[in-house]
Chain A
Amino acid sequence: QSALTQPASVSGSPGQSITISCTGTSSDVGGYNYVSWYQQHPGKAPKLMIYDVSNRPSGVSNRFSGSKSGNTASLTISGLQAEDEADYYCSSYTSSSTQVFGTGTKVTVL
């Protein structure tokens, strides 16, 4: 159950778009459409941003979008805003009937 691989940090200027990758294997990301993304601000509980690869929960801005190709999922934030500065984690169901999180990515708005 190795953690999914994410870049440690990604940064962008306000208004720009950034993309966070999440790389796993055919036993998790590549094998199921059960990839989700969570946003976590310091000292707060995680918040669901994307589920089942590309679906947005009610109330989440349409600036957030998700996709998947092979064993790599991606989260794109368009029109970057100061409030988007946070840690982001991907997660996937696995063939071992478990869940696994990514290593986490710190997003910095310049």
Chain B
Amino acid sequence: EVQLVESGGGLVQPGRSLRLSCAASGFTFDDYAMHWVRQAPGKGLEWVSGISWNSGSIGYADSVKGRFTISRDNAKNSLYLQMNSLRAEDTALYYCAKAYNWNFHSHMDVWGKGTTVTVSS
């Protein structure tokens, strides 16, 4: 069974950092691009970042560019999101999602259950 399990969320003060992880199983991880998508409480979905199968192509939403860094470790079947200089508006449920193919141009066909990040003093 294809499965994505996010971890690393929590309560953090504004300006601090947090690193999210996503453990993948049930598919050949290094064949596929991956995405991070977030959803603020009571709000819609927002694409955060995407990374190609070999990390050769990476993209970020303007709202996080320069503060967040996406990465992956294909040997560990894991995806990461390093979040620096966190703001209150980064408070959200963060989903890890598998792309349909090697390129994050493609849609998200499998989603994790998400991990909650709360930025507050």
Contact = CB atoms under 8 A, between A and B. Distances in A.
* Contact-residue size bin, chain B (C-beta under 8 Å from the other chain): 20 to 34
Contacts, number: 67
Contacts of A87: 44
Nearest to A90: B45
A46 interface: yes
B47 interface: yes
A96 B49 CA distance: 12
Interface in A48-96: 48, 51-52, 57, 87, 89, 91, 93, 96
Contacts of B47: 91, 98-101
Indicate the size class of the contact surface on chain A: 20 to 34
B35 interface: yes
Contacts of B108: 36, 38, 46, 48, 91
Interface stretch (B10-18, B56-64, B84-92): B56-64
A101 B45 contact: yes
Contact of B100 (A32, A51, A103): A51
Given A36-B107, A91-B108, A99-B59, 17 more contacts: A1-B61, A1-B62, A40-B45, A45-B111, A46-B95, A46-B108, A48-B109, A51-B109, A89-B44, A91-B107, A96-B59, A97-B57, A99-B47, A101-B37, A101-B46, A102-B44, A103-B44
Interface of B: 35, 37, 44-47, 50, 57, 59-63, 95, 100, 104-109, 111-114
